[in-house]
Amino acid sequence: MRILVISQYFWPENFRLNELCKHLAKKNKVTVLTSKPTYPNSKLFEKTRNLKKYGSIKIIRLPTYLRDQSNFSIILNYLSFIIFSVIYSIKFILNSNFDKILVFGTSPPSGLLAAHIIRVFKKIPVYYWILDLWPETLNSVGFSKKNLIFIILEKFMNYSYSKCKYIFCQSKSIQSLISKKIKNKKKAIYFPSWSEDLPLHKNQKLNKLINKKDFNIMFTGNIGQSQDFESVIKAAKILEEYRNIKWIIVGEGRFLYKLKLLIKKNNLEKKFIFLGSQKLKYIRYLSSLSSCLLICLKKNKIFSITVPGKLSNYMECKKPILGMISGETKEIIEMSKSGYCCDAGDYKTFSKNILKLNKKKINQQLKIGYNGYIYSKKFFNKKILLRKFEKHLLI
């Protein structure tokens, strides 16, 4: 079977799509139409930007505008991918034959237009793996539902949902919302982010930066506006007198500069340790040096239906989870008994939860972390989820 994957992001950028494509390529011929890698930082990919093979997978890289931290460059990056993918879709229509099209639905869903153009002319089914719900995401950042752009996007997305053969939904909440938009409810499949098999490579330089005697709250991933670090700082200020509580931040993002300014403004420099962006092979080891792992998102309806991919990875690390996040993620943490979670923005309860976990004995903390591990093996199992995806792709 010949599968065309359309995604703005692909290896060497770190997305679960890479693993899915590797799995599909064992029995199928996979081609990926993507952009030049720039997420989360284009400087990370200077030596690997033009690679055109990933194992047996053929990579077609479009000449997209390279993004940096500015809004203007990010918009140009999205628009250039949409334009060039549409142009390239004409070449596929004329010269290529595929059996299936898979679109990786990050935010925004930039690959859908090209996919449906090919579908119309070549009569090929489109499968959509949705991570972020559009155009509802626009509404969460201030776009009015009466805005012309919102209305156009809503009509396009509803059309797209109706024409896709299957829609793989990252959360049960998204699955429920998509089901209301389509006639055939069975087309919406619950497909959560699996826990990744991250390696455990030790790094003595990183090891020296973290005092294992402290209660280390570690955050890994993108440092953006949506992560609500403002509330994290408020909690850190409340707990300032507790000398053993430290915050370890692993990652980069557009909010990093503002975060450091907030820390300085609140005289919390001694409480925070920034380790920057680290290679994927060290993330599991860094997590092992933590006391617990932090997951947080701002108070927003769209975020409450989202389950960040890091949740399943956190659970895999057998560490307690501290959450300041509403909706489905909070329900999972509470149901699995894998940590303590309060609603998004509730920094007062969040600070109380930190003290509650800090007072637990080590064996009690380990038990909480192990609860998450057991849950991830049952509900976020990679082998089971990949087989589930492949099963529906073959239908």
What are the residue ranges spanned by the domains of the chain? 2-194+381-394, 204-379
Q: What's the pLDDT tens digit per position in 123-168?
A: 999 999 998 888 888 777 677 777 888 888 889 999 999 999 999 9
Residues 6+ apart with CB under 8 A from 148: none
Percent composition of the chain: helix, strand, coil (DSSP 3-state, to 5):
45, 15, 35
Structure tokens at 161: 């949902």
CATH class of 204-379: alpha beta
Res 202: pLDDT: 84
| pLDDT, position 272 | 95
pTM of the model: 0.88
pLDDT value of position 98: 92
* Alpha carbons 106 and 168: distance in angstroms, whole number: 12
From CA 25, how far away is CA 373, in angstroms rounded? 29
Q: What amino acid is encoded at 388 in this protein?
A: K
Alpha carbon 138 to its chain centroid, in Å, reads 17
Q: Does 355 score more than 80 pLDDT?
A: yes
Question: Residue 67 pLDDT more than 70?
Answer: yes
**Superfamily assignment of 2-194+381-394 in CATH?**
Glycogen Phosphorylase B; (3.40.50.2000)
**Statement: residue 303 has pLDDT above 90:** no
The C-alpha angle 246, 197, 344, rounded to 5 degrees, equals 45
Do 2-194+381-394 and 204-379 share a fold? yes
| CA dist., res. 162 & res. 184, Å (int) | 9
Longest dimension (CA), the chain: 68
Phi, psi of 132 (to 5 degrees): -125, 135
- Whether the per-residue pLDDT at 44 is higher than 70: the answer is no
Continuous segment of H or E residues that includes residue 161: helix 148-163
> Mean pLDDT in the chain?
91
CA distance linking residue 30 with residue 164, whole number of Å: 19
Task: Report the distance separating Cα 199 and Cα 280, nearest Å.
Answer: 8
Which residues, at least 6 apart from 257, have a Cβ–Cβ distance to it below 8 Å? Answer: none
Q: What is the DSSP letter of 203?
A: -
